């Protein structure tokens, strides 16, 4: 029984991580129809910022990571994505792929490709007991952070003026502009928020793995992408759900699969993804306004 | 003697892009054959890359959908051909758990290569059938999933692929002329495919999918055809890579190679076969130059060299510049045209 | 006739999409308080005309002046701030947002929150069906209700000029009656209206002046009542050239 709860908590914790990652991706896709591969680099560079600031007080480290992620997000928007605002989706996809690789290779050039250890908030790695079940403190923190950020984001989108503008822009960008919604502001805010989410994920991952390496962000976002696709591209609840399912699913599979198949669990997850897409190509929670009117 | 507007001339005009590209590629190979061993090997590598880029182009250029999964097909081709052509003795060393039929197989090169391409095409058929129903961007992300799944499967199916270990001992039969032969074959196949009605309909649907479907065009079917042909060529490219290096390593068939091939196609121009060739040539030249820069040159007693990894950064930067300023690439979506004009 | 310059002046407007010229050098005027109709069949270029004025598509040539100041070249987001509100063809309401949120978006450029709240309540009293559904997602409204919402949303920016693109399209006649009754009310409130319609009869009934557009040009223009009775109307609407007719007989 305890084992079962541990597995469930692990699944929810990992699911939350992927949900947050997918949300960051979904925010940008919503307003710009851009799949931002470079989101992975936001996560990676936030982690390297933590590394660079290690030894400083924790709030300073976290603030640094957030600042770097947000600034980098805004910079990539301004330099690489704004000129391509009206390009077709494939061009946007290629450009984000190129930006991602550029940042990654630049990072490797500067810091090398070997992984580096980082002991960040080691206290969170402790075991704790909740309702008689032994759990890792980090798992609980991850779930709480996930819920808090999800709620905060939802509040922002539903209750603020800017959030309303973003939701409108995500559904019908041009009509929003006709009504006076400032395109540049909305997109910049979306990127900034995605930076914030990336920094949060980065901190959690660094605590969990204790390792910083140039590929870390990309590995996360590849799986998160697939999550947004099954959740429904363009739909934020869909992105969160899809990311969560993919993350939680891989943990559950790991627990359920026989030992010799466990290494293939990612393959199984993707097969499940393909199966879902077969029956619901528009995703689990499809976004409105995505289908073109004839 | 005047050249009239006969059917011969018309055929030549239609085939001109293919003829010109084959001639260019052959000329490069011939020139390289007089060079010492190292440039020859580099050229062979470039020709193998050409097959890979042409393979990617067949799908991306005709469907307008970017595929990240072709490197997985390359891996399939490499592993299948390796398993079929390696000497039994070598196989028993690296892959002791292979089923007997495969363990004892010692096929000659060509059937092994064709098998590699065929299996890749078969996998593409199965995988592509659900994937091609997705819209452009979703399909692209799904092909990324194909790449990752391929990587996971090859990396962990230890009994068949050796898992994370390198698979060594492949017959290294790929030399300059073999690579050239397959490069020409790839160009011919790609050109022949893009002249088919299916490819034409696919390109039409690229512009306006709704209109195409309303006209009764089965977009999914045509996309699938392109995907399968593309996978076959990618599989062949993988076969060539494996039998050129003599080893197959799963991490060589993942993100870095994907980026390289996508970059080549993009910089050259994803809309035409000429673009695929142009991109390969330009990147090959660039890589050469950067390699020299990374080795460095002597100034007095100091060696001035670019730090390792500069090449990748420059390649990524070049890709960004092309995307921002000339998104259709060097070839701009056009094929080489008959230079002699119409009478 | 007052000597004040017209509210909206369009001169020499040319709109081209690639090889297709949708608007060929048009001249148009709308005086303050007037209701002007532009009628014509599908493909005449009416939507392109409105899109060019609203700043959605950049014109190839020509000048658009609004309230004395040039409108051409300003950013799309700034047009509504100048006092022009557009109800586009197909309505383009935000289906996932509530009715109230849609209305709120109409007031995006306004800074006077108190007055906006007042205007929203006024919209609800003017459009009772919207009041009923104020917290429902707008996508659940019927076509006619969505059209009302689109118009109410446009009015929330307190525009000087309201532009409507095909308000009757796709709606049942009874609903269209309601919409046009609405337009009469808006007109009597003093809002200047530029109306684009395929349904010439309706447009002529509510407009002061009418332009007949065909093939990117104005074939006929004048007082609405006169135009409706003009024998050349059908020919102008369907684009049959006068000169060719005369030559053929």
Question: CA-CA distance, C157 to A178, in Å (whole number)?
Answer: 11
Instruction: Name residues whose C-beta falls within 8 Å of residue B241's C-beta, 6 or more positions apart in sequence.
Output: B48, B52, B74, B78, B252
Please state whether C110 falls in left (phi above 0), alpha (psi between -120 and 50) or beta: beta
Burial of C118 (0-12, 13-18, 19+ CB in 10 A): exposed
Instruction: Return the pLDDT at A292.
Output: 37
Beta bridge partners of A135: A128
Per the CB < 8 Å rule, is B255 touching A89? no
Residue A287 counted as domain residue:
no
- By mean pLDDT, which of A116-130, B275-289, C117-131 is the weakest? A116-130
Q: What is the pLDDT of residue A268?
A: 80
**pLDDT value for B297:** 67
Interface membership of C108 toward A (CB under 8 Å)? yes
Which CATH number goes with the domain that contains A227?
Answer: 1.10.3470
> Is residue A291 assigned to a domain?
no
Cβ proximity of C23 and C48 under 8 Å: yes
pLDDT band of residue A136 (cuts 50, 70, 90) is confident
Chain B residues near residue A98 by CB distance under 8 angstroms: 263, 266, 316, 319-320, 323
Interface test with B, best of A229, A231, A280, A294 (most B CBs within 10 A): A229
Mean pLDDT calculated for residue range A177-196: 94
* Residue C78 with chain A: CB contacts under 8 Å: 180
* B139 Cα to chain A: minimum distance (Å): 9
List for chain B the helix, strand, coil content (%; round to 5): 75, 5, 25
Q: Which residues contact B207 (CB under 8 A, 6 or more apart)?
A: none
Angstrom distance (rounded) from CA B332 to CA B278: 11
Is residue A288 included in any domain, yes or no? no
Residue A284 belongs to a domain: no
Q: At what angle do helices B273-295 and B37-63 cross, to 10 degrees?
A: 140
Q: What is the pLDDT of residues A247-260, one digit of tens each?
A: 998 888 888 888 87
Residue A290 lies in a domain: no
Q: Residue A293 has what pLDDT?
A: 30
Q: Which residues of A touch C141 (CB under 8 A)?
A: none
Query: pLDDT tens digits, residue range C133-164?
Result: 999 999 999 988 999 999 999 999 999 999 99
Measured distance CA(C230)–CA(C39) in Å, rounded: 14
DSSP code for A292: P
Predicted TM-score (pTM) of the model is: 0.87
pLDDT top residue among C221 and C161: C161
Low-confidence ranges of chain B (pLDDT < 50): 1, 343
pLDDT of residue C161: 94
What residues of A are in contact with residue C96 (Cβ under 8 Å)? 167, 171, 287-289
- Give me the mean pLDDT over the C203-213 stretch: 90
The count of structural domains within chain A is 1
- Strand order from edge to edge, sheet including C8-17: C20-30, C8-17, C61-66, C69-70
- pLDDT for B66: 92
Q: How far apart are CA B112 and CA B106, in angstroms?
A: 9
Within 8 A of A178 by CB-CB distance, chain C residues are 54, 56, 76, 79-80, 86, 88, 92
Write out the H or E segment, with its range, that includes residue A225.
helix A216-231
Decide if C108 and A171 are in contact by the 8 Å CB cutoff: no
All partners of chain C with 3 or more CB pairs under 8 angstroms: A
- Quick one: pLDDT band at residue A163, thresholds 50, 70, 90? very high
Total Cβ atoms within 10 A of residue B38: 8
Kindly state whether residue A179 falls inside one of the protein's structural domains: yes
Question: Residue B3 has what pLDDT?
Answer: 54
Helix (H, G, I), strand (E, B) or coil at C69: strand
Q: pLDDT tens-digit profile of A194-229? A: 999 999 999 999 998 889 999 899 888 988 988 888
Weakest mean pLDDT among A80-94, A278-292, C123-137: A278-292
> What is the domain range of residue A96?
2-279
* A124 falls within a domain: yes
Share of chain A above pLDDT 70, in %: 97
CB-based contacts of C145, cutoff 8 Å, min separation 6: C129, C130, C133
Q: Is residue A66 part of a domain?
A: yes
Residues B74 and B253: beta-carbon distance below 8 Å: yes
How would DSSP label each residue in B83-120?
HHHS-HHHHHHH-TT--HHHHH----HHHHHHHHHHHH
Sign of the torsion angle spanned by Cα atoms C170, C174, C175, C177: positive
């Amino acid at each position: 029984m305890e084992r079962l709860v541990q597995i469930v908590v692990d699944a929810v914790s990992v699911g939350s991580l992927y949900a947050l990652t997918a949300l960051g991706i979904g925010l940008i896709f919503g307003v710009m129809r851009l799949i931002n591969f470079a989101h992975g680099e936001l996560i990676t560079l936030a982690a390297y910022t933590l590394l660079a600031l290690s030894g400083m007080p924790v709030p300073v480290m976290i603030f640094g990571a957030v600042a770097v992620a947000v600034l980098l997000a805004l910079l990539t928007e301004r330099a690489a994505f704004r000129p391509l605002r009206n390009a077709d989706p494939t061009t946007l996809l290629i450009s984000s792929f190129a930006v991602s690789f550029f940042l990654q290779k630049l990072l490797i050039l500067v810091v090398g490709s070997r992984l580096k250890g980082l002991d960040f908030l080691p206290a969170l790695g402790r075991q704790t007991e909740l309702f008689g079940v032994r759990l890792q403190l980090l798992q609980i923190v991850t779930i709480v952070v996930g819920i808090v950020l999800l709620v905060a984001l939802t509040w922002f989108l539903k209750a603020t003026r800017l959030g309303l503008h973003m939701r409108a822009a995500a559904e019908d960008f041009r009509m929003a502009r006709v009504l006076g919604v400032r395109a540049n502001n909305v997109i910049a805010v979306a990127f900034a928020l995605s930076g914030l989410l990336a920094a949060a994920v980065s901190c959690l991952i660094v605590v969990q793995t204790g390792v910083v390496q140039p590929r870390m962000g990309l590995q996360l976002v590849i799986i998160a992408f697939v999550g947004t696709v099954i959740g429904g591209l363009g739909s934020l609840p869909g992105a969160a759900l899809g990311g969560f399912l993919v993350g939680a699913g891989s943990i559950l599979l790991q627990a359920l699969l026989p030992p010799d198949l466990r290494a293939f669990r990612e393959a199984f997850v993707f097969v499940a993804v393909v199966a879902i897409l077969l029956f619901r190509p528009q995703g689990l929670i499809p976004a409105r306004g995505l289908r073109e009117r004839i | 003697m005047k050249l009239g507007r006969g059917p011969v001339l018309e055929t030549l005009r239609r085939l001109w892009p293919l003829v010109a590209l084959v001639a260019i590629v052959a000329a490069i190979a011939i020139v390289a054959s007089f060079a010492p061993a190292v440039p020859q090997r580099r050229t062979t590598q470039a020709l193998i890359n050409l097959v890979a880029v042409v393979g990617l182009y067949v799908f991306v250029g005709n469907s307008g959908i970017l595929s990240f999964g072709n490197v997985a097909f390359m891996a399939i081709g490499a592993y299948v051909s390796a398993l079929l052509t390696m000497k039994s003795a070598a196989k028993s060393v690296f892959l002791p758990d292979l089923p007997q039929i495969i363990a004892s197989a010692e096929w000659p090169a060509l059937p092994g290569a064709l098998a590699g391409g065929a299996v890749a095409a078969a996998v593409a058929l199965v995988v592509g059938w659900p994937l091609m129903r997705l819209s452009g961007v979703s399909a692209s992300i799904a092909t990324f999933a194909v790449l990752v799944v391929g990587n996971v499967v090859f990396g962990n199916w230890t009994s068949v692929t050796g898992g994370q270990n390198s698979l060594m001992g492949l017959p290294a039969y790929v030399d300059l002329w073999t690579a050239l032969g397959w490069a020409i074959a790839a160009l011919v196949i790609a050109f022949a495919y893009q002249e088919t009605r299916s490819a034409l309909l696919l390109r039409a649907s690229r512009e306006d999918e709704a209109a195409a479907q309303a006209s009764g065009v089965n977009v999914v079917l045509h996309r699938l055809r392109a995907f399968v042909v593309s996978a076959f060529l990618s599989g062949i490219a993988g076969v060539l890579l494996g039998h050129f290096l003599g080893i197959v390593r799963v991490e060589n068939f993942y993100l870095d190679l994907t980026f390289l091939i996508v970059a080549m196609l993009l910089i050259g121009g994803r809309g035409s076969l000429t673009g695929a060739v142009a991109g390969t040539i330009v990147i090959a030249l660039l890589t050469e130059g950067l390699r020299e820069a990374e080795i460095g040159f002597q100034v007095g007693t100091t060696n001035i060299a670019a730090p390792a990894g500069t090449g990748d950064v420059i390649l990524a930067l070049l890709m960004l510049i092309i995307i921002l300023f000339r998104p259709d690439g060097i070839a701009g979506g056009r094929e080489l045209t008959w230079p002699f004009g119409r009478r | 006739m007052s000597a004040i310059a017209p509210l909206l002046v369009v001169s020499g407007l040319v709109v081209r999409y690639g090889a297709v010229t949708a608007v060929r050098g048009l001249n148009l005027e709308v005086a303050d308080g007037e209701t002007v109709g532009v009628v014509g069949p599908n493909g005449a270029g009416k939507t392109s005309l409105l899109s060019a004025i609203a700043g959605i598509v950049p014109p190839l040539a020509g000048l658009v002046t609004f309230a004395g100041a040039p409108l051409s070249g300003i950013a799309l987001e700034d047009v509504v701030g100048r006092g022009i509100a557009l109800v586009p063809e197909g309505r383009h309401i935000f289906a996932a947002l509530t009715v109230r949120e849609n209305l709120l978006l109409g007031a995006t450029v306004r800074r006077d929150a108190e007055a906006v709240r007042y205007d929203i309540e006024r919209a609800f009293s003017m459009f009772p069906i919207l009041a009923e559904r104020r917290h429902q997602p707008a996508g659940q409204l019927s076509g006619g209700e969505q059209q009302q919402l689109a118009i109410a949303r446009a009015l929330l920016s307190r525009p000087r000029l309201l532009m409507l693109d095909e308000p009757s399209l796709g709606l049942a006649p009874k609903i269209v009656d309601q919409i046009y009754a609405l337009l009469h009310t808006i007109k009597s409130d003093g809002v200047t209206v530029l109306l684009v319609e395929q349904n010439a009869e309706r447009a002529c009934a509510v407009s002061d002046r009418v332009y007949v557009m065909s093939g990117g040009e104005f074939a006929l223009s004048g007082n609405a009542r006169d135009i409706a009775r003009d024998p050349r109307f059908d020919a102008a609407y369907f684009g049959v050239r006068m000169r060719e007719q005369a030559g053929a007989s």
